[in-house]
């Protein structure tokens, strides 16, 4: 399909185009949808360097992280979807449970017109990945990239407009006014990735039109280390996963619960890991880390850090802020006061408070005192501790002796619960999330069923005796 460039985007006009075209897209075959996805994949192959440059301008992100997380990962997602889509689309047909001469069918149909609102922290992947699922499910899509990453937003727009007609997939750039206008429209589904605060606004707007939503949010993800954990692995994992994209990741470990007997050694190993990953000859290696997205977020992080230190927290690593470059060196805090703001707000930066506990039940109780997180990470070789933490806490997902990587396995559903999200996606789960499971009942009997119809005298006894 040749792109149609809209000189001045009329949001309502684009929406109405897609509303009309949705029924054409709904009846596409698996082969046709795969062809659409392969066109997108081909387009991805032409913009890698453009994406790297845009990411560098918006986030100063290391090339490695851009290519691995935003580009190569997306190509694999498309491959996985294309290889399995025909099977996912197959209707389920089985005998009825209430009539012996009837069959039932579950058919997956598109939701209709889908709005995807992307975040700034992974501004390419988290627009395009939901788009893959939406196309696979047969929807038309309007995508709204984040205005906080304007260079990446332009890459997204150019890519989509070069591959698809706007009546099928369109990109609307802009800020709050454009997002507000979009949210006022009666979309069939809204897919939002961002903070719980904005998620509530999106959900409230969707409710006015009874629009279904997928909300991929965040929260304070605990990182628990028990008394017999592999401390070196735990420390290295923590530092790496807390500093991806300078900690600006909804899956970042947000606070540590380290068994009191392990905390001294754990801190020493974490400091060693920081030095190995981010320092060369005593100098901070800026090229291997992103900057904080903007001044507002930088100031917020500096304020959280300052509040914790003022209330007695000890800086055991980092604590170095570059006000000109908006960079924060990986920072560890211990002895953090319970009333510190850093223990209440999602941090979203490379600052990590470390708490201690005596028993695993104390750690579980602390986790459960907070809103349900997007992810929980436990380092333990004790099966009883592992089972107790999994069973007695609630989170979007769990990693045992790892962190973050469950979100990379597309055979697992990914999503939050309550405060950390609504709905889940990835692989087949994304196809199902953006589909409607339509129930169909086929009755093959020749006569109408009169058992449930009046007159009712004696029929209740017949039903009771039949059971």
Q: What is the pLDDT of residues 219-249, one digit of tens each?
A: 999 999 999 999 999 999 999 999 999 999 9
Q: What token pair was written down for 165?
A: 């007609």
Residue 263 has which token pair?
């905390």
Catalytic residue among 60, 70, 129, 216: 216
Average pLDDT over residues 119-126: 97
* Prior bond of 455 cis (ω within 30°): yes
Q: Could you read off the pLDDT of 427-451 as tens digits, one per residue? A: 999 999 999 999 999 999 988 888 8
Q: How many CB atoms lie within 10 A of CB 391?
A: 9
Cβ contact 17:6 at 8 Å: no
Structure tokens at 334: 């211990």
- List the catalytic residue out of 250, 346, 399, 433: 250
- DSSP state at residue 197: H
For the chain, domain boundaries? 11-217+417-441, 221-408
Q: Are 213 and 422 in contact (CB under 8 A)?
A: yes
Is 221-408 a CATH 3.20.20.60 domain? Answer: no
What pLDDT is attached to residue 467? 65
Place of tokens 């727009």: 157
Distance of alpha carbon 292 from alpha carbon 328, whole angstroms: 8
216 a catalytic residue: yes
Computed over its alpha carbons, how large is the radius of gyration of the chain? 25
Which of 113, 111, 112 is closest to 14 using CA atoms? 113
For residues 332 and 270, give the distance between their C-alpha atoms in angstroms, rounded to a whole number. 9
pLDDT digits (tens, 9 = 90+) for 315-325: 999 999 999 99
- Of the listed ranges 28-32, 185-189, 452-456, the one predicted with least confidence: 452-456
Q: How confident is the model at residue 466 (pLDDT cuts 50, 70, 90)?
A: low
Q: pLDDT category, 352, cuts 50, 70, 90?
A: very high
- Tokens 């933490």 map to which residue? 389
Catalytic annotation present for 399: no
Three-class secondary structure of residue 333 per DSSP: strand
Q: What is the pTM of this model?
A: 0.94
> In a 10 Å sphere around its CB, with 0-12 CB exposed, 13-18 middle and 19+ buried, how is residue 411 labelled?
exposed
CATH 3.40.50.1000 for domain 11-217+417-441, yes or no, is no
Task: Spell out where 260-312 has E strands.
Answer: 279-280, 283-284
Q: Which of 385, 327, 17 is nearest to 168 (CA)?
A: 17
């Amino acid at each position: 399909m040749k792109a149609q460039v809209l000189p001045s985007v009329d949001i309502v006009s684009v929406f109405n185009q897609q509303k009309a075209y949705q029924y054409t897209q709904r009846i596409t075959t698996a082969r046709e949808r795969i062809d659409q996805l392969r066109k997108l994949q081909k387009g991805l192959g032409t913009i890698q360097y453009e994406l790297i440059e845009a990411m560098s301008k918006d986030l100063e992100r290391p090339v490695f992280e851009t290519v691995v997380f935003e580009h190569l990962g997306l190509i694999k997602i498309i491959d996985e979807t294309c290889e399995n889509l025909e099977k996912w689309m197959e209707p389920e047909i089985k005998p009825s449970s209430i009539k012996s001469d009837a069959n039932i069918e579950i058919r997956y149909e598109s939701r209709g017109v889908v709005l995807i609102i992307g975040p700034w922290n992974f501004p390419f992947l988290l627009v395009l990945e939901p788009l893959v699922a939406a196309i696979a499910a047969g929807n038309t899509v309007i995508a709204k990239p984040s205005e906080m990453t304007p260079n990446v937003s332009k890459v997204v727009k150019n890519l989509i407009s070069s591959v698809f007609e706007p009546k099928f997939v369109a990109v609307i750039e802009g800020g709050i006014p454009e997002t507000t206008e979009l949210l006022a429209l009666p979309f069939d589904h809204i897919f939002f990735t961002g903070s719980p605060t904005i998620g509530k606004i999106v959900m409230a707007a969707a409710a006015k039109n009874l629009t279904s939503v997928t909300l991929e949010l965040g929260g304070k993800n605990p990182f628990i280390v028990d008394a017999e954990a592999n401390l070196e692995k735990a420390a290295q994992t923590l530092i790496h996963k807390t500093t991806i994209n300078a900690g600006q990741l909804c899956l970042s470990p947000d606070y540590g619960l380290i068994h009191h007997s392990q905390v001294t050694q754990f801190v020493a190993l974490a400091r060693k890991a920081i030095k190995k990953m981010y320092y060369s000859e005593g100098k901070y290696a800026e090229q291997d880390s992103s900057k904080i997205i903007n001044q507002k977020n930088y100031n917020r992080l500096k304020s959280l850090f300052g509040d914790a230190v003022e209330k007695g927290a000890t800086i055991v690593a980092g604590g170095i802020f570059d006000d000109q470059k908006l960079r924060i060196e990986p920072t560890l805090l211990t002895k953090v006061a319970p009333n510190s703001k850093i223990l209440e707000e999602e941090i979203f930066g490379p600052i990590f408070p470390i708490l201690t506990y005596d028993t695993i039940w104390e750690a579980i109780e602390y986790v459960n005192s907070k809103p349900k997180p997007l992810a929980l990470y436990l380092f333990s070789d004790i099966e009883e501790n592992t089972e107790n933490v999994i069973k007695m806490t609630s989170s979007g997902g769990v990693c045992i002796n790892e962190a973050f990587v469950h979100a990379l396995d597309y055979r697992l559903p990914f999503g939050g619960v309550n405060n950390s999200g609504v709905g889940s996606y990835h692989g087949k789960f994304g196809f199902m999330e953006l589909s409607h499971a339509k129930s169909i009942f086929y009755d093959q009997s020749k006569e109408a069923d009169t058992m449930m119809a009046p007159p009712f005298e004696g029929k209740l006894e017949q039903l009771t005796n039949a059971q």
